[in-house]
Chain A
Amino acid sequence: MFVVVLVHLIVAGLLVVARRQLERWAFLVGALGPVATLIYLAANWQKGLDGNAVVETFEWVAAQDLDITFRADGYAMVFLLVVAGAGLAIFLYAHRYFKPGNGPTMFAATMTLFAGGMVGVVASDHVLSLFVFWELTTITSYLLIGYDDRQAQARSAALHAAIVTGAGGLAMLGGLVLLAERSGSYLISEIVANPVGSSIAIEVAWVLVLLGAITKSAQFPFHAWLPGAMAAPTPASAFLHSATMVKAGIFLVGRLGMAAVATVDWWQPAVVAIGLVTMVVGGWRALRQYDIKLVLAYGTVSQLGFMFLLIGSGVPELIYGGLAALLAHALFKATLFMVVGAIDHEAGTRDLRRLSGLYKTMPVLFAVALAMSISMAAIPLTFGFVAKEAAYHGLIYEGVLWIAAVAAASTLTVAYTARFLFGAFGPHEEGQEPAEGHRLSLSNLLLAAPAALAVVSIVVGLVPSLISPLVDAGTYAVTGHHHAGHLVVWPGIGEGLAWSAATLSLGALMAWRKELMARIGDAVGVVADRLPSGEGAWRKFVPGLIGFADRSSSLIQNGSLPTYVAVILLVAITAPTVAVLNSSSGVALVAPPSGTLFEWILGAIIVVFALSLAFVRRRFAVVILLGGVGYGIAGMYAVFGAPDLTLTQLLIETLGVALFALVLRHLPATFSGPATARVPRLIVAVLVGAFVFAGGLAVTAARTSSRVAESFLELSVPEAGGHNVVNVILVDFRGFDTLGEITVLVAATLGAAGLIRPMLKKRRSS
């Protein structure tokens, strides 16, 4: 699995490097990613079907328990098969989809990277690596939706998708970390195996996880980003926004659903309600679209709702049906999207009012679309029907309300399928300019790729035993139940068939009376437009968010150095003070030792220098006085027998004062501004002084463990071969710190020089 992910990353990297040479051949190279996944699946197929998981662990940061753990069980294999199978077909399709010279290599690289991320999502067992891969899919999705970055609409759709799914991803991370902390393991397999009892934190955790899933899988009320994402070129729509990425949320609720149902009682009703509402909203909106791609997109929303409620329900029978539906959906929806892309490519429009007679001009494409449409509508002898029957079987078992609600929502699926099929391939509408396509040959990948997926779908629809062991293994992996359902071509006369028949006939009726439906739709629309909607909220949210960002950054980053310093100092003294005052052990102050006369004199010199700093207005004098304070402290070090510190302090003060003098050449000679402006600074200064004074005394009193210095003194010669323990600490015992410090020194110098040079150059030239 590690190798598979690595192949994706390497191929994506190669594509970026060799983008000039490869052009659209890049997609054929990128197809290596899905091929690698398929090879992996073939090699581990039997293992997965037997109910075993292939676990790979790579120790990374052992001390932090940060391992990269991949765990491919039957459930992950269902999703891997979708990612690799649909991915392979779509990569081949994309090779033909893009016109030469369009420079789509970056698109191919991003798709490959996405495929790798998706493999990582479904195979990760560690919470944090799951999150990393999850966000990799968010970012690549953003890049793919916004691929045509000259279009404002594509950019804003990309941003919409990224913000919604990104925010959801963060929520999910929070939820998973809470779960992991409570259950004591960051491995999802262990979190699921030992669900912890309910508490407020756990309730919150499950809400957050659910948020992550519903945003990713475009569930109501966050579904609006998915139709917007159709701004992406069709290969991305087919791959990410129908077959794979949007199923990541469903993957998550399936993986965790059993544990969630066992812990919180609201999970199942919430998932079912969200799924049902999404089914209805998506199906309804699909009936109102004229762009065939948008018909499919809203259809996807609707279907995602269906799968969400099945797989997230935590009921083995429903999960079984849901996984079958997921495989069926990936096949027919990816194919139909590719069909739409081919139509767009050849006829130049996707408007179903203009498309005319394509069943004659593009007969093979029509055959493919027909086969997949009847699968989408779940008409008998299709994979869609087989899957839906399995799902209905489970729903009937749950109760009549469940099956009735889902069947009612499914009628919309039948109706929008008809709208898609007749709209795309039937005659054009009166008063619209007709658009006709050209015959595509089967050797054209634009047709061959969807046709190949369609053949797979048809074969599986007729011989479902090909796929039922995988569905069973997938269900077993998350539920521990074998034979939770079965996939059969013909269920026999019974309740399930009756519900299917009802769904189909009611849907057909809706498709037949489409003028009536349109009028009802208009009437509903009048009301619905007044209601708060996801899209409306989004349109208000973005300017609000940007305004908030503007205001907050102008408040926090106001460009004033004194303000920055004051904030840093106040935080630095407030945080420890609060912590100390809240601590149970309390604070004790040690009276300082009385000190010798010489120490008192040195101290007095430091204090006089420091105090006079506050009253001097000439910058040069300030620098000299600061240097005086530093020398005084160096003297203190000398008195207390720290020659190393004395030496370093003297040198750094000397160099510091001299460099300061260089800075002063470019600044006014005195500080400006009214005296009142100095009052807040005085307050900060007094507070910091008091804190350091009291802190010094308190810290000296608070020692509980033995002095680390003693062990350093003991170890210095035998361990590091040095007699100067200060130096040994710097280069050996605490060498890592020193390395960090010199890195900071380099960064700060580069930053300072980089800021100063252009500023002075500008001043000289003006």
Chain B
Amino acid sequence: MKRSSSSPILSAGVVVVSGPLLMFSAYLLFTGHNQPGGGFSGGLVAGITVLLVWAAGGLDSVRRVLPVKSNILMGAGLSLAALTGFAAFVPGLEFLESGYIKLHWPLVGEFKIVSALFFDIGVYLVVVGMAVGLIKALGHEGSAESPEESS
């Protein structure tokens, strides 16, 4: 049942690049508030990574590296974004109005946590969920030309 990879070079290449790609994706997410990037572009990079994994190892590999249903990713993302909006009511702000706290941790130094980051993480999860959902729906091995391979 387990389908061998279409190309060993592709498989090896994906193994090599997917780590840095995911780091880049996370970088875009966290730096977005002050530099180019953000949840949307970060999520797209992660989506592209998943697509590469699919190209190398098919849906089985995608399921192995990301054992979460796409609907759960999207649902979690949407809920997180909405909850961030409502959380602004607690300190008496408007819906989705962002606030931030400055922290000073030893070794790490001074940094700032903006509430909008959680909103952006929500966007990120939705975008990744979208990509994974479409890949899973469309990327079945048993495609039109080889029906006998279906699972």
Contact = CB atoms under 8 A, between A and B. Distances in A.
Contacts of B134: 659, 662, 749, 752-753
Contacts of A659: 51, 131, 134-135, 138
Given A731-B116, A739-B85, A745-B126, A644 B37 contact: yes
A647 B41 contact: yes
B33 A724 contact: yes
Nearest to A643: B36
B51 A731 contact: no
A749 B41 CA distance: 18
Given A746-B129, A756-B137, A655 B34 contact: no
Contact of B116 (A643, A726, A732): A732
Interface stretch (A185-193, A610-618, A715-723): A715-723
B130 A735 contact: no
Interface in B80-120: 81-82, 85, 95-98, 100, 112, 114, 116, 119-120
The interface residues of chain B, by DSSP majority, are classed as: helix
A746 B126 contact: yes
A492 B71 CA distance: 80
Contact of A764 (B100, B129, B150): B150
Q: Which of A644, A651, A726 has the most CB of B within 10 A?
A: A651
Nearest to B102: A721
A658 B140 CA distance: 15
A759 B63 CA distance: 22
A665 interface: yes
Contact of A727 (B33, B96, B137): B33
A150 interface: no
B33 A644 contact: no
A757 B138 CA distance: 8
B38 A665 contact: no
A726 B35 CA distance: 9
B45 interface: yes
A746 to B, nearest CB: 5
B33 A723 contact: yes
B67 to A, nearest CB: 18
A666 interface: yes
Interface in A518-532: none
Interface residues of B, number: 55
A746 B74 contact: yes
Interface string A654-684: 1100110011011000000000000000000
Contacts of A763: 144, 147
A582 to B, nearest CB: 37
Nearest to B112: A721
Contacts of A644: 36-38, 41
Contact of A735 (B51, B85, B100, B143): B85
A752 B137 contact: yes
B138 A724 contact: no
Interface string A636-661: 00000001100110011011001100
A601 interface: no
A742 B81 contact: yes
A745 B137 contact: no
Nearest to A665: B143
A746 B37 contact: no
A753 B37 CA distance: 28
A98 B38 CA distance: 63
B144 A666 contact: yes
Given A721-B98, A732-B97, A749-B134, A655 B44 contact: yes
A736 to B, nearest CB: 6
Contacts of B139: 662
B97 A724 contact: no
Contacts of B147: 763-765
A738 interface: yes
Contact of B37 (A647, A738, A742): A647
Contact of B120 (A658, A731, A743): A731
A738 B48 contact: no
Interface residues of A, number: 43
Contacts of A662: 134-135, 138-139
A742 to B, nearest CB: 4
A723 B98 contact: no
B138 A727 contact: no
B95 A736 contact: yes
Interface string A219-250: 00000000000000000000000000000000
A745 B127 contact: yes
Contacts of A731: 33, 38-39, 96, 98, 116, 119-120, 123
Contacts of B58: none
Contact of A738 (B32, B33, B123): B123
B8 interface: no
A659 B140 CA distance: 13
Nearest to A717: B34
A763 B123 CA distance: 34
B77 to A, nearest CB: 7
A746 B133 CA distance: 10
Contact of B77 (A654, A721, A742): A742
B133 A727 contact: no
Contacts of A765: 147, 150
A757 B70 CA distance: 14
Given A655-B51, A763-B144, A735 B37 contact: no
A662 B100 CA distance: 42
Contact of A750 (B47, B71, B98): B71
Contact of A651 (B33, B45, B112, B130): B45
Contacts of B116: 720, 722, 727-728, 731-732, 735
B138 A746 contact: no
Contacts of B123: 730-731, 738, 742
A760 interface: yes
B142 interface: yes
A728 to B, nearest CB: 7
Contacts of A732: 96-98, 116
Given A723-B33, A746-B74, A750-B71, A739 B98 contact: no
Contacts of B47: 655
A743 B123 CA distance: 10
Contact of B33 (A648, A652, A728, A739): A728
Nearest to B127: A745
B144 A721 contact: no
Interface string B28-59: 10001111111111001101100100000000
B87 to A, nearest CB: 12
Contact of A666 (B38, B48, B135, B138): B138
A721 B140 contact: no
A658 B51 contact: yes
Nearest to A645: B36
Contact of B119 (A721, A726, A735, A750): A735
Given A722-B116, A756-B137, A739 B96 contact: yes
Interface of A: 643-644, 647-648, 651-652, 654-655, 658-659, 662-663, 665-666, 720-724, 726-728, 730-732, 735-736, 738-739, 742-743, 745-746, 749-750, 752-753, 756-757, 760, 763-765
Which 4 pairs between the two chains have the least Cβ-Cβ distance?
A735-B96, A651-B44, A662-B138, A723-B34
Interface of B: 28, 32-41, 44-45, 47-48, 51, 70-71, 74-75, 77-78, 81-82, 85, 95-98, 100, 112, 114, 116, 119-120, 122-123, 126-127, 129-131, 133-140, 142-144, 147, 150
8 contacts: A659-B51, A721-B114, A728-B116, A730-B38, A731-B123, A742-B77, A746-B78, A757-B137
